[in-house]
Amino acid sequence: MIKGLRLLWKVFSRSERRKFVVLCFLLLGLALLEVAGIGSIAPFLAVATQPELVETNRYLNRAYTTLGFDSHRTFFVALGFAVAGFIVLRNMFNALTDYAKARFAHGRGHTMARQLLARYLARPYVFFLNQNSADLSKNVLSEVQTLMKGFLIPFLDGLANLVVAALIIGFLIAVNPAVSGVVATVIVVMYGGTFALIRMRLYKLGKQRIRANRERFKATSEALGGIKDVKMLGKEKVFVDRFSVPSRRMATLQARKKILGAVPKYFLQSFMFGGIILAVTLVIATRDDFASLIPLIGVYAYAANRLQPAFKHMFRDLAQLRAHQPVVELVTRHLDMDYLQRLPRFKLREVPPLPFERRILLQDIRFRYPNTDEDVIREQSLEIEKNSIVGLAGPTGCGKTTLVDVMLGLLPPTSGRIVIDDTPLTQQNLRNWQVNLGYVPQHIYLSDDSITRNIAFGIPDADIDTDAVRRAARIANLADFIEDELPKGYDTVVGERGVRLSGGQRQRLGIARAVYTDPKVLILDEATSALDGLTEDAIMDAIHSLTRRKTIIIIAHRLTTLVECDTIFMLDKGRITASGSYGELLERNPRFQRMAKVSG
């Protein structure tokens, strides 16, 4: 539990720490009001049972004379109203404190979820190659909420109950040190001993819950992400069963965690009430004047009424803290400041592009994926002149897409360097280089949004250039379809991952997105693979119309797509094995001849 608190304190900002300290003072104020409320019961009951105390007790007499009362009855009524008013005031302050706790906890839940998403997005692209997106989504959307509800809120509640219980016990000890001290010691030892017996079991349940939750999210993501295949193959039950196993296990773990935190309370309540009754019994046994004991008995009874829920909730909160400490460790590990890279605060169009006037030069590029032993790109060099058209060809798995990802700055080369004109590409100028690029992957991601927002992807509505959207749609041979066939035109919502569009339409939308910013370099990775021949010809004509105005890099399996290229680089097993124009390679390279024959 202490470890979890240290981890949370580490990720709190300076402002959040200040708010936490202020909240602690509020909780201390609430505890003092609780003790004052208990203390106010004694004079009220004393005056009720022994009215003459108004004359004999100097404090009561001072209040009686200073406030100008003329009878014991009116003083008693006023005292009753004062006690009742004080209790109302205490409850109002209690409500204020509860609001402050909830606001602090939910506010931290928001900031931690936002920071966690920001940490993920700030990671290099290679980080995501070894991660499951469902697991990352789970951490942001589920585990942060679990941390807030299962750790932060129970901690604040437990802290409030701890302060209240400590001050009440301190007050009772001040009233009767011997009896109250013994009873308090027994109660604390019993509660502490019971928690010590179950704390490790709770921690293990918490770690098992995280694993089960990860499997639930993964099963759900796979079922819904591949819904077309699931429906076509009739595998609905398979995926429901795959989800059911971790879901049932998580339900069982949650029930065990709850019962471990709840069952001991019935045993411990007996000690709680038994201890208070024992204290009252001992006091009565040692005193002869029963009437004078009524105020003291009232104080003990009221204190028991406040202590019993405080200890019960404190034990429940301790169980929650222990069970959810693994969540704190998980979230704070991902929030570790060592991994933080500041997210860009500027708009993309405000980033000055890296000057590109002559060439892109790759020198001795070698790349190996993390945790692997073999290079995917093996010390390769190539030069791409500005405003030329370059093709990359080769069998599947030869390294074409990896080489393009290196050019895009998504994958840092294991060795070697990229030079733009005479400027080496570094982490500091990477964003400036990427402003020059337009990229069309083989598989286009489309959000469940309008065509306009998918073309101007990630750009705030106020900054979207509608003329640029329409120009991009025309280049991608998509404008006629949008304007003539869709009832809402560019405002048409395409559905999740573009489910309402055909494969070719999705591909063309991806091309429109790439040319929206009018990039200097356009990279197409199998961008026309999902298009029919006529549409591919129309799009390639549009792309070729950009010749001598843009640098175009094309990855293609269909070699006919590369006919117009100035240079084609043939790759095999991470090496460039040949280069030349389409005609040159067709004339002298047997492998290229075979590929050209197959592609027709």
Q: Is residue 124 part of a domain?
A: yes
Lowest-pLDDT range of 193-197, 221-225, 466-470, 475-479: 193-197
Same domain, 327 and 190: yes
Tens digits of residue pLDDT in 471-523? 999 888 888 889 888 888 999 888 877 778 877 788 888 889 999 988 999 99
Same domain, 12 and 149: yes
What backbone torsions phi and psi does residue 398 show, to the nearest 5 degrees? -85, -10
Residue 93 is part of which domain span?
A: 2-339
What backbone torsions phi and psi does residue 385 show, to the nearest 5 degrees? -75, 150
For 259-288, give one letter per residue: b (16+ CB within 10 A) or e: ebbeebbeebeebbeebbeebbebbeeeee
CA distance 492 to 483: 10
Q: Which of 2, 1, 4 is nearest to 332 (CA)?
A: 4
CA distance 242 to 254: 19
CATH of residue 473: 3.40.50.300
What is the pLDDT confidence band of residue 390, given thresholds at 50, 70 and 90?
very high
Residue range 259-288: mean pLDDT, rounded: 61
Is pTM beyond 0.85? Reply is: no
Q: What is the largest CA-CA distance in the chain?
A: 122
What angle, 0 to 180 degrees and rounded to 10, lies between the N-to-C axes of helices 325-334 and 2-11?
A: 30
Whether 594 contacts 559, CB under 8 Å? no
Output 447 or 179, whichever has higher pLDDT.
447
Query: Would you state the pLDDT for residue 37?
Result: 75
Q: Is residue 71 part of a domain?
A: yes
Residue 12 predicted with pLDDT over 80: yes
CA distance 205 to 160: 26
What is the pLDDT confidence band of residue 276, given thresholds at 50, 70 and 90?
low
Q: Is residue 528 part of a domain?
A: no
Query: Would you state the pLDDT for residue 345?
Result: 52
The residue from 339, 354, 375 where one domain ends is: 339
Q: What's the mean pLDDT when you consider all of the chain? A: 81
Sole residue written with tokens 């819950």: 209
The residue from 305, 339, 373 where one domain ends is: 339
The residue from 339, 354, 374 where one domain ends is: 339
Output 226 or 283, whichever has higher pLDDT.
226
Query: Would you state the pLDDT for residue 259?
Result: 75
Whether 308 contacts 272, CB under 8 Å? yes
Same domain, 325 and 467: no
Residue range 323-329: mean pLDDT, rounded: 86
Share of the chain above pLDDT 90, in %: 15
Strand ranges across the sheet with 377-385: 377-385, 359-367, 415-420, 423-424
CA distances 264 to 194, 246, 253, 261, 314, Å, are: 7, 28, 18, 7, 12
Q: How many domains does the chain have?
A: 2
Output 393 or 598, whichever has higher pLDDT.
393
438: which strand partners? 522
Residue range 57-71: mean pLDDT, rounded: 75
Whether 26 contacts 97, CB under 8 Å? yes
Output 278 or 202, whichever has higher pLDDT.
202
